[in-house]
Amino acid sequence: MNHEGGGRHVCFFNRSYWPDLSATGQLLTELAEDLVRLHGWDVTVVTGYPLRSDARLPGSEWRHGVHIVRGAGSTLDPSRFTGRAANYVTYFASAVIKRPSSRDRASGGPTSWWR
């Protein structure tokens, strides 16, 4: 294991993440888990709920060393523009509320770069 980057914190914001099957969600899942596994980083992902799943997922969980925080955005059918637009708008509004703050640094959590 290479832990050159140990002690680094990163927070990703993306509408989709595991177990969502979208390409961006799959790529971000691989990246986040590799940053933890290969470099020892602390990684948080602020995401939405999967669009095509009835699975009941918690609002916050850990998977393969990644802290996943899910916002309460809509999960409307993304094949229609109105559904896709509503999903993004509600995700972004929810992500702003759920985002980690600079106060999290004291507790060992990720740091938000805009505060």
- Domain count across the chain: 1
Whether this prediction's pTM lies above 0.85 is answered by: no
Tokens of 94: 């929810």
Is 113 domain-assigned?
no
Residue 43: give its domain's CATH number.
3.40.50.2000
Q: Does residue 115 fall inside a structural domain?
A: no
Phi-psi category of 57—alpha, beta or left, where left has phi over 0 and alpha has psi -120 to 50? Answer: beta
Structural domain includes residue 114: no
Range of the structural domain that residue 16 is part of: 9-107
Q: What is the pLDDT of residues 47-66, one digit of tens each?
A: 988 887 777 889 899 999 99
- Chunked in runs of 10, what are the mean pLDDT values of the chain (115 residues)? 65 92 93 96 92 83 95 86 91 81 45 36
Cβ distance 64 to 58 under 8 Å?
no
* Euclidean distance between CA atoms 80 and 104, whole angstroms: 38
Assess whether the previous peptide bond of 19 is cis (omega < 30° from 0). Answer: yes
Does 97 reside within a domain? yes
Q: Residues 11, 111: contact at Cβ < 8 Å?
A: yes
